């Protein structure tokens, strides 16, 4: 389905600067192409964290993903453009309308949550402002999309699309969503990189936080062969990712930093393939 080559990223959740620097340096050593930071108030702020990461390793950095309601469009565009400038183009700007729990966070920062249409308009305004600030140098855009309107926006504006579906979504539904994205994108379809996030890889038992993250018992998640998991030996995991590229089109694979070492042999097997 896709002849795009694989690349891999690490999604951090550091509590200290030392922990973050260790993750960034190790990711670069192991051949990951990017390190990414979520946008949640209980972790360090993403933009300064990514600036720090780009300064200590030759690796791309990205937001995963910035929640539009947590800042004004002008502030977000300014931060994104600044990272593109200071990293000499090594920044991927991930943005979305915000997960449901982001509503509480907007209250904490004193900004309105808004309805779905208003949050999408914030995303569009941010992208328009960023384009003006960038000028000739264009920041790659990553959009998280699951619903019809977000998917249409991603088809029109994104360079990278992360399909925003939960861990229990059947493979066939994700494949259909990816096909719908390509249909909407039309002539742009081949220019869009499809991203897939993995929160557990390898053979280690799933951690206790799996249930909180996925809303389902770890055993049930494994039994349903969730796309959020990548299990087995390095060769088995590599073969599974090859199948996902063939059936869904996903080639940009990101993993929770706790599993950075577990996925590393697969990164070695598939990077550039």
- Where does residue 248 rank: exposed (0-12), middle (13-18), buried (19+ CB within 10 A)? buried
User: What pLDDT sits at residue 166?
Assistant: 85
- Residue 91 has a pLDDT of 98
**Mean pLDDT of the 87-114 span:** 93
pTM, two decimal places:
0.95
Q: Which of 53-67, 161-175, 201-215 has the lowest mean pLDDT?
A: 201-215
Contact 142, 93 (CB under 8 A): yes
> What is the C-alpha separation between 198 and 270, in angstroms, rounded?
16
- Tokens for 88? 């000499």
Give the C-alpha separation, 4 to 52, whole Å: 30
Tokens of 51: 């600036």
pLDDT at position 1? 56
Q: What is the pLDDT of residues 71-85, one digit of tens each?
A: 999 999 999 999 999
Percentage of the chain surpassing pLDDT 90?
83
pLDDT in tens, 178-220: 999 999 999 999 999 999 999 899 999 887 777 777 778 878 8
Residue 184: predicted pLDDT: 96
Residue 41 has pLDDT above 90, yes or no: yes
| Domain definitions of the chain by residue range | 7-270
pLDDT at 2: 62
Instruction: Report which DSSP code applies to 216.
Output: S
Mean of pLDDT values over 223-243:
94
Tell which residue, 58, 62, 70, has the closest CA to residue 27: 58
Give dist(CA 228, CA 49) in Å, integer.
25
**How much is the pLDDT for 39?**
96
When mean pLDDT is compared across 52-66, 119-133, 205-219, the lowest value belongs to 205-219
**Domain spanning 7-270: CATH 3.20.20.30:** yes
């Amino acid at each position: 389905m896709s002849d795009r080559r694989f690349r891999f990223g690490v999604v951090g959740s550091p509590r200290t600067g030392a922990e973050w620097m260790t993750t960034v340096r190790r990711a670069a050593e192991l051949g990951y192409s990017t390190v990414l930071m979520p946008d949640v108030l209980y972790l360090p702020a993403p933009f300064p964290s990514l600036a720090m990461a780009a300064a200590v390793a030759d690796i791309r950095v990205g937001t995963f993903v910035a929640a539009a309601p947590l800042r004004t469009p002008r502030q977000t565009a300014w931060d994104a453009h600044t990272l593109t400038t200071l990293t000499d183009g090594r920044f991927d700007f991930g943005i979305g309308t915000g997960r449901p729990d982001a509503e509480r966070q907007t209250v904490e920062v004193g900004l309105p949550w808004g309805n779905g249409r208003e949050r999408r308009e914030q995303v569009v305004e941010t992208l328009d402002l960023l384009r003006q600030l960038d000028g000739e140098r264009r920041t790659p855009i990553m959009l998280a999309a699951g619903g019809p309107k977000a998917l249409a926006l991603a088809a029109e504006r994104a360079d990278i699309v992360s399909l925003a579906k939960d861990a229990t979504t059947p493979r066939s539904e994700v494949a259909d969503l990816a096909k719908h994205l390509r249909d909407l994108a039309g002539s742009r379809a081949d220019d869009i990189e499809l991203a897939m996030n993995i929160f557990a890889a390898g053979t280690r038992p799933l951690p206790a936080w799996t249930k909180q993250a996925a809303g389902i018992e770890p055993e049930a998640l494994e039994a349903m062969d969730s796309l959020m998991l990548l299990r087995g030996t390095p060769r088995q995991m590599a073969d599974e990712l090859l199948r996902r590229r063939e059936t869904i089109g996903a080639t940009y694979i990101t993993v929770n930093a706790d599993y950075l070492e577990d996925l590393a042999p697969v990164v070695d097997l598939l990077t550039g393939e």
